Amino acid sequence: MSAKSPVTTHILDLGTGRPAAGVAVTLNKVLGGQATRIAEGTTDDDGRIMNWFDAPLDAGHYRLTFATGSWYQARGLDTFFPEVSLDFHVADTNAHYHVPLLLNQWGYSTYRGS
């Protein structure tokens, strides 16, 4: 797939100052409290998922879930967060939504990227 997905993500491990490669991520649409999987992927060597699906998004509530616990466990490290779920709202179906995750073992931060 060569076109950039309408939703992309990038994870930086603030504990090491490096991209978090190999993190499993799922994207779900949430409707009426029920989550339906739209896409799943794994971050590349630069900590990014850019081209995991190319279907347009409907307006609505979406959730990115990052498997942080298993990622840290594979590195022999503990973490307070077995997973990180980030909910966001898609209003403009023609827009691109970039959702970065800044992560360490004991906390995280996010924002709407560009």
0.85 surpassed by pTM: yes
Residues 6+ apart with CB under 8 A from 102: 11, 12, 14, 108, 109, 110
Ligand-binding site membership of 48 (annotated): yes
Q: What is the mean pLDDT of the chain?
A: 94
pLDDT reading at 70 higher than 50: yes
DSSP state of 78: -
Ligand-binding site membership of 111 (annotated): yes
The third-level CATH classification (topology) of the domain covering 7-110 is Immunoglobulin-like (2.60.40)
- Domain extents in the chain: 7-110
Ligand-binding site membership of 10 (annotated): yes
Given pLDDT bands bounded at 50, 70 and 90, which one contains residue 7?
very high
